[in-house]
Chain A
Amino acid sequence: MKMKTYKIYLSLFITTLLVSCSDDFVQEEPPFQVTSGSFFQSETDFNNALIGAYDLTQATYVNVILGEIASDNTHAGGESATDVVGWQQVDRMEHTPINDNIDDVWDFNFAGVQRAAFIIENQDNIDFDGKAQIIAEARFLRAYFNFELVKWFGPIPIKPEGQFQLGEELSIPRSPVEEVYAFIEDDLQLAIADLAPQAPQVGRASKAAAQALLGKVFLYQDKFDLSAQQLQVVIDSGQFHLFGTQAGEDFLNLFEFSAENGPESVFEVQYSGDQGAGFECLQCSEGNVAVGFSGVRGYNGPVYESGFGFNLPTQETVDAFADNDLRKELSILDIEAWAADTGATFTIGNQDPVTGHTGFYNKKYLPRENDNLPDANLTHPNNYRAIRYADVLLMAAEAYNRGGINDDLARQYLNQVRQRAGLQPVNSSGADLLNNIYNDRRLELMGEGHRFFDLVRTDRASQFIDGFEAPKNNVFPIPLEEIQFSQGNWEQNLGY
């Protein structure tokens, strides 16, 4: 009997001991992890978040290569007429709202907007010296991504106060283009006020970068006075000159590694081959994915590395260069001639007459020999010269001319660019000068992703691009899934 009692007490004791284990047991914090609630508590946190926003500039490779393919400059290329089918469709002007590659443009650039907004919405958390510079850079980046989005898609959802929250796709409308531009201008004006004339580090935005971008944003809205004004500030800053015009510089090296972040660079997207990458996340690559995709297929030879053979300049493009134009040598690789000279070998992929092999490659952004990490096709370190001084001069020339402000200055800036290319200055003015500017703008910026948008903003796209229908093709279709996610809040662009 005594034994029995003891057993009962023992069992009760054990039972109560464990039933006292309460629900606190599961109140667990994630081990060694930073949650958003405990972030933005130090200068380092702000700096780290800013790096996160710059990270997404690398994903804009997709804007560059697809922008170029969309224009009359290049064929899509690739392995076959269905390789990266979204690019092929854009090249054929057969793109629809179901296009993964256009979707990438939407997703990647909004990811950049969101990361910049994460900083901006937390700007009042703490105070420290240098905070204004960081917030200004975040604003510059948000404007940069939003400008890309408005160029591609027209009206887009905007949220000046911070990040989009789940559910807001149902309530935040696509703001009209004018409002989007006003928002971008606001961000840039605020950025210009606080940005240092010299960027704190190579690769970050300087005051001039924001001013040049603002000049470009004004030009896209035909606000010529304002545009010329901003661009003139950049020119007057004396920070930049055309590469190749001073001792020790060779214009033909402008797109080599040696000239990266050089005297012509106003804003440059930085890439590195020091980290591997894979196809499952192209936007995660630290390298310039567009470069590997532009490489010569099956290439074996000196100077270059092989690639996937996309973005192929057409014969018409090549013929647009005068024979004595140095920019032809700078921009175009004639693979047959090169192979004959050097013994290099290569293969031909897509042979479709509309999107296939042309014999020419986009030399500015071809993969150069380097020791990048695998997948080597995705990690080439070629920086993208997003805004270079030649572009600033040509935009200024255009603004001065089209705004009827000052043809002399316009001509002067144009001729600076022409002379560097080894060409005679022009003496034209008025509409002739504008044509000269347009023509040199195409040739100067060949292969850099600007042509399509230049044609659209100047209403010349249907003249040059087969199958282009205005106004439908002035913007790209909103990805179908986005229309679905918004459950009717966002309407499809006209004609798609």
Chain B
Amino acid sequence: MNKWIYLLLFSITTTIAFSQQTVSGTVVDDANLPIPGVNISIKGTTQGTVTNFDGEFTLNNVSLNDIIVFSYVSFETQEVKFTGQQTIDVQLKVSAEALEEVVVIGYGSSSKRKLTGSVSTIDSESIQDLDPLNAASALQGTTAGVNVTPNSGAPGAESNIRIRGISTNGNSAPLIIVDGFQYDGGLNSLNPQDIESITVLKDAQAAIYGSVGANGVVLIETKSGERNQKAVVTYNTYVGLQETSRELPLLNSNEYALLLNESYANAGLNQPFSNISAIENDTDWQDEVFETAEIISHNISVAGGSENTDYSMSASHLDQEGIVGADKSSFKRTTVKLSINTDVRDFLNLKANVFHTNNRSKGINSFGLGSVLFNAINMAPTISRDRDNLDGTIDLGNEVVNPLTQLANTFNDFESNRLSGSFQAELEYIDDFKLTARYGFNSSKLNNREFFPEFNFGTSKVFTRDENQVNLNQQDFYDYTFDLFHTIDKTIADEHDVTLTLGMTVFRTHGEGLFGSRTGVPNNSFDFADLGTATGAGDDQTNGSFVSEARRLSYFGRVEYAYKDRYLLSGILRRDTSSRFGPNNQTAWFPSVTTGWIISEEEFFDTGDWFNFAKLRASYGELGNDRIPDFLFLSLLSGEAEAVLGQDQNLTNGQALGPLSNPNIKWETSKKLDVGLDLRFFNSDLDVTIDYFSNEREDLLITNIPVSGIFGTSAPGSSAPTINAGTVENKGVEVALNYSKEVSKNFSFNVGYNISTIDNEVTEVNGTEFIEGGAFSVGQLPPSRMQEGEPIGFFYGLQTDGIFQTQAEVDAHPSQGSLGAEAQPGDLRFVDTNNDGVINEDDRTNIGDPIPDITMGFNLSFRYKNFDFSAYSFANLGQEIVRNFERDQPNVNVLRKRLDRWTGPGTSNTEPRVTAGANTNRIFSDYFVEDGDFLRIQTISVGYFFPESILKSIGASSLKLYAKVDNAFTFTEYSGFDPTASTGAPIGGGIDLGFYPVPRTYTLGLNVKF
């Protein structure tokens, strides 16, 4: 229909286009504040311009009766007919409903106003304010119900994203969809500055993703150009300095020697330091390993468009060094992105996106027993920093070595090259009937080279090698997602809006890997560390490979229906078949229903300007999770079978069964319920969203579920089966508030706050009473469990009740002898929780869990004249963390709090005595479980926009200089480096082995636009 109007206008304009003129003016908003960046175009032409910083514009070659269109995001588009005016001043109105903001919901989009699911969105502005290294961190604190924990503070480390709690002991990571296709690359392979918006689908709305949507879906849209816009060139750069956010308070040489002497004396043994004044060294190992490290980023992008085509391209480079090991722990990321969107005909649109990422990183041993920081914490301060071989120094056990020597002997190089992209065609074959075909792909190649030099760290140290070795590892992955779907969008009788989406998706992923290792690298040097140059023969060369393959075929349909713009109903049905599941269970159906009622559309709702909008939402649906290894329903001869046979004692390879199979395996099902309320007050300045949710995850795919030893699962290369054997429930409430106000031309601000609660409970574990995981210290029972009635991954250990002050107290208490040693005064007193008169492993109980009960985010930003300021913070409350960075060995260094140890009756009821003798104080108990609550000021940034006068002189349209501090401060009582420490493991997470802390970063940056 529009075409006729165009045609009409066209004929009119051509007939009377004899005089072309120039018009100028100013565009302002409701508050008469100028709006920079407003698009101004002459309807039906490619002619146009953009307002400057003061909202002013000049438009040339205007003809009489031209329609001039003024458009700007979240304002109502206005059209003015040119009748020969010299100036046109326009006041744009905030679009009647800024709620009309478009939100992607998977295989389509919806207006925020009509959205019936629970969805959070982060726009490019927040992403720009936060300017994160990894896009995942933009979600932390900004979205209710989303918890992001870094794997490590090491450069290039990935983050774990958890939406509405942990609901499986398998893979809890959400599905990531970039521009419509499944993206499995990890978010640190995306350039955050390419991201336009991040949308999180938290409830049954995600059911359109069927068997892969149960963990929630993160939809990322990348930036694109705008139509009728001349090329805008943006250049962003920053340099930063990173430092550790904390050093642990440890003992110095003197204190160390005195305390060690006392611990030996307490055990009736000879004191190791007979002459304390003769100790030469006082090495602060943390000072030695932590450094100030640089970070530099460049990003350039160009975006623009003509009438029928828009495009955007960008390139970026990031170079980050680590605060431990500097260039031994570094991350370099180079990205290139190109996207183009064109209307080939008025009924056919084509869109293509290509991303390339090159990541290069080097890493140090940064998590676990034997990590550099673990060594820096446990190393004796009496040893000189230059002591590479610890023979002849005090015995620190076989794992603790000089961390500096360890760094010097760390050699590796990891490189990944990734090409991802999508190609999409959209055909409008009848008015309002569209067919979309989209092919998305990820191709990645990972190369890893490691070299372990021959080096003597000391006799029987686990790091000592009398032969060097090079390991090479190359992996290739390719996957594609092919979507084909119809979208039918009809309004019937003005009152019935119907959108129907019907389609299918095909997904295939294929991976191959090759591994090899060889000893005998020439000159014991990384420079020659290659399989070809090394000389090791026979068994000194090894190789291996793998091939993986998984496929999925899905059909889906979605109906969205709105009656009178206020009664909303949407239903989704998806059918999935997956190669991950056996023939008995290959197919499943995933239904969902979401509904909404826009109360504020009702006539009785007449509350004036103070209460503008109210919508009630409810949704229920079933989703699946298929994130398990391939072919678990088959018994494969993939076990290890090696025996030494023959006169020459050669290793001979055979074949054996691999992991125990489970022919009946199927997907996990998540039943998601959500009831929510969206409210807007005070001219829509205050935005309130409240949700109650309940997710019940059934048929949990429990990998490696313990089974009886008679099935031979402890054999080399075998493992326990994966069984659908549990149910986990997450319930909670989310509230998000946002208030933004433009007070005057010079001052505007925005305040956001969100809070969510999580109540996690395992309601069923089949086949076994509990599943254990994690590790504490060395040789101890697994500290984490999944068990009915408890939160998943709770800590299971002994409960303490102070310290035995006297032998009489010891005698009065049940014996602790079966733990390994009889108690003495000064030892921890454990609670006989089962009242059987003896303290043993059976007295273990729930002593905390790593899942935060409450997560919060608080964000503030304001703009005053040419300055802007923003601060982002978040807090986790009600989480516990296990201190596991202290080596259980009598001679290692310890935290300063040990100086307050028990030394006699009444001296301490919290810190046990020191002793080198047998004791049970190191057995996993609540002594090691700490309050992990924290509040982190994540980002504080101040920016200055240069005034027009300067911009003109350099020909720029915008220039901003800013200073930013990331990870500025953390309020916590936790004694380790970082309370966010977690492997993210559902069972065994929250156990801190000397976590590489997330650095504090001071940044100076520049954004310029031409």
Q: Which A residues are within 8 Å of any B CB, using their own CB? A: 4, 7-8, 10-11, 14-15, 18-19, 21, 23, 25-28, 30-37, 39, 45, 47-52, 54-58, 79-86, 88-89, 94, 96, 98, 100, 103-104, 106-108, 110-115, 118, 157, 163-164, 166, 168-169, 201-204, 260-261, 270-272, 274-275, 281, 283-284, 286, 295, 297-300, 306-308, 345, 347, 349, 351-352, 371, 373-377, 381, 479, 481-482, 484-486
Among A21, A36, A114, A204, point to the contact of B635 (Cβ < 8 A).
A36
Of the candidates A18, A54, A376, the one whose C-beta lies within 8 Å of that of B645 is A54
The answer to whether the Cβ of B532 comes within 8 Å of any Cβ in the partner chain is no
| A111–B551 touching, CB < 8 Å | no
A33-B636, A79-B397, A201-B645 given; A48·B654 CB < 8 A = yes
Name the B residues within 8 Å of A81 (CB-CB).
820-821, 917-919
What are the 10 closest A-B residue pairs judged by CB atoms, nearest first?
Answer: A51-B654, A81-B918, A114-B712, A52-B641, A52-B656, A274-B539, A270-B644, A107-B709, A48-B654, A111-B715
**Contacting pair A18 B484 (CB below 8 A):** yes
Is B429 within 8 A of A11, CB to CB? yes
Interface flag for B579 (CB, 8 Å): yes
Q: CA of A84 to CA of B708 in the docked complex: distance in angstroms?
A: 23
Contact of A111 among B391, B486, B714, B817 (CB under 8 A): B714
B660 neighbours in A (Cβ, 8 Å)? 166
Do B429 and A4 have beta carbons less than 8 Å apart? yes
Q: How far is the CB of B274 from chain A (nearest CB, A)?
A: 17
Question: Are A485 and B579 closer than 8 Å at their CB atoms?
Answer: no
Q: Do the beta carbons of B587 and A371 come within 8 Å of each other?
A: no
Within 8 A of A (CB), among B546-588: 547-553, 577-579, 586-587
Q: Which residues of B contact A39 (CB under 8 A)?
A: 637, 655
State whether A169 touches B708 (Cβ < 8 A): yes
Interface string of B421-433 (1 = CB under 8 A from A): 0000001111001
Q: Give the residue of B465, B551, B817 whose beta carbon is less than 8 angstroms from that of A26.
A: B551
Specify which of B395, B540, B630, B716 is in contact with A283 (CB 8 Å cutoff).
B716
CB neighbours of B922 from chain A (8 A): 82
Report the nearest A residue to B437, measured CB to CB. A14
Chain B residues lying within 8 Å of A23, measured Cβ to Cβ, are 553, 577, 586-587
B395/A298 in contact, CB under 8 A: yes
A274 touches B651 (CB 8 A): yes
B653 touches A51 (CB 8 A): yes
Q: Is B652 an interface residue (CB 8 A)?
A: yes
Do residues A96 and B818 form an inter-chain contact, with CB atoms below 8 A?
A: yes
Contact A270 B710 (CB under 8 A): no
Decide if B712 touches A110 in the complex (CB within 8 Å).
yes
Bound form: Cα–Cα A52–B655 in Å? 6
Contact partner, A298, options B459, B482, B637, B640, Cβ 8 Å: B459
A51, A100, A110: the one within 8 Å of B643 (CB) = A51
State the CA gap A416–B247 with chains docked (Å).
68
Distance, CA A284 to CA B658, complexed state (A) = 13
Instruction: Determine the chain B residues whose CB is within 8 A of the CB of A298 once the complex forms.
Output: 391, 395, 459-460
A–B pairs, 5, beta carbons within 8 Å:
A4-B429, A23-B553, A35-B634, A271-B644, A377-B460
Q: Give B400 Cβ to nearest chain A Cβ, in Å.
A: 12
- Determine the residue in chain A with the shortest Cβ distance to B576: A26
What is the chain B residue whose CB lies nearest that of A50? B654
* Cβ-closest chain A residue relative to B631: A30
Closest to B643 in A: A54
Interface residue B21 (Cβ < 8 Å from any Cβ of A): no
A479 lies within 8 A of B553 (CB): no
> What's the least CB distance linking B647 to chain A, in Å?
5
Known: A115-B715, A376-B464. 15 other contacts (CB 8 A): A23-B587, A25-B506, A26-B553, A26-B577, A28-B550, A49-B655, A51-B654, A55-B642, A166-B707, A272-B539, A283-B714, A286-B642, A351-B917, A371-B467, A377-B460
A-contact 0/1 string along B530-549, CB 8 Å cutoff: 00000000111010000111
Decide if B780 is an interface residue (CB 8 Å cutoff). yes
Q: Is the CB of B427 within 8 A of A11?
A: yes
Task: Kindly state whether residue B721 has any CB partner on chain A within 8 Å.
Answer: yes
Interface size on B, residues (CB 8 A): 109
Name the distance in Å between B440's Cβ and chain A's nearest Cβ: 15
User: Which residues on the A side are within 8 Å of B608 (C-beta)?
Assistant: none
| Given A11-B429, A34-B636, A52-B654, A374 contacting B465 (CB threshold 8 A) | yes
The answer to whether A479 and B709 touch across the interface, beta carbons within 8 angstroms, is: yes
**A-contact bits for B614-638, CB 8 A (1 contact / 0 none):** 0000000000000000110011111
* Shortest Cβ gap from B921 to chain A (Å): 10
Return A80 CB to nearest CB of chain B, in Å.
6
Contact A300 B654 (CB under 8 A): no
**Does chain A have a CB within 8 A of B840?**
yes
Chain A residue numbers with a CB within 8 Å of B397 are 79
Q: B639 near A: Cβ within 8 Å?
A: yes
Query: Given A47-B654, A50-B654, A286-B651, A33 and B638 touching (CB < 8 A)?
Result: yes
A103 touches B888 (CB 8 A): no
Complex CA–CA separation, A21 to B840 (angstroms): 60
B462 (CB) vs chain A CBs: closest residue: A375
Instruction: Kindly state the separation between the CA atoms of A202 and B645 in the bound complex, as whole angstroms.
Output: 6
Task: Tell whether A31 pairs with B549 under 8 Å between CB atoms, given A203-B644, A351-B917.
Answer: yes
Give which listed residue, B347, B430, B435, B919, contacts A15 with CB less than 8 A.
Answer: B435
Alpha-carbon distance between A14 and B482 when the two chains are bound, in angstroms: 13
A484 touches B655 (CB 8 A): no
In the complex, A21 Cα to B749 Cα: how many Å? 54
Kindly provide the distance from the CB of A190 to the nearest chain B CB, expressed in whole angstroms.
Answer: 22
Q: Given known contacts A11-B435, A166-B721, A270-B645, is B714 in contact with A21 (CB within 8 Å)? A: no
Verify if B713 is at the interface (C-beta below 8 Å from A).
yes
Residues of B within 8 A of A98 (CB): 781, 840-842
B residues in contact with A114, CB < 8 Å: 710-712, 715
* B768 interfacial contact with A, CB 8 Å: yes
A115-B712, A300-B391 known; A82+B918 contact, CB < 8 A: yes
- Asked if A80 contacts B889 (CB within 8 A), the reply is yes
Cross-chain contact B711 with A164 (CB below 8 angstroms): yes
Give the distance in Å from the alpha carbon of A112 to the alpha carbon of B713 in the complex. 10
Verify B465–A299 contact, CB threshold 8 A. no
Interface residues of B in 841-857 (CB under 8 A from A): 841-842
Contacts of A260 in B (CB 8 A): 649
Question: Which residues of chain B have C-beta atoms less than 8 A from A37's C-beta?
Answer: 635
Are B651 and A275 in contact (CB-based, < 8 A)? yes
A11-B435, A30-B631, A377-B460 known; A113 and B712 CB under 8 Å? yes
- The answer to whether A51 touches B642 (Cβ under 8 A) is yes
A117 to chain B, nearest CB (A): 9
Judging by beta carbons under 8 Å apart, are A34 and B645 in contact? no
Least CB distance, A162 to chain B, in whole angstroms = 12
Residues of chain B within 8 A (CB-CB) of A27 are: 579
A26→B586 CA distance, assembly (Å): 8
Closest to A109 in B: B709
Alpha-carbon separation in the docked complex, A98 to B630 (Å): 34
Cβ–Cβ contact A308 & B840, under 8 A: no
With A15-B486, A484-B769 in contact, is A48–B655 under 8 Å at CB?
yes
Complex Cα spacing A205 to B66, Å: 99
Best-surrounded residue of B392, B466, B638, B655 (most CB of chain A within 10 A): B655
Q: Is the CB of B716 within 8 A of A307?
A: no
**Do the beta carbons of B709 and A110 come within 8 Å of each other?**
yes
Asked if A484 and B652 sit within 8 Å, CB to CB, the answer is: no
Task: Please give me the residue from chain B that is nearest to A101 by CB atom.
Answer: B779
B717 pairs with A270, CB closer than 8 A: no
- Report the Cα distance A394→B920, complex, angstroms: 43
- A94 to B822, alpha carbons, bound, how many Å? 12
Chain A hits for B519, CB < 8 A: 373
Beta-carbon contact of B641 and A48 below 8 Å:
yes
B324 within 8 A of A: no
Q: Which residues of A contact B655 (CB under 8 A)?
A: 34, 39, 45, 48-49, 51-52
Partner of A10, one of B429, B587, B818, B923: B429
Q: How far is the CB of B872 from chain A (nearest CB, A)?
A: 40
Are A201 and B656 in contact (CB-based, < 8 A)? no
Q: Does B718 contact A (CB under 8 A)?
A: yes
B25 proximal to A (CB < 8 A): no
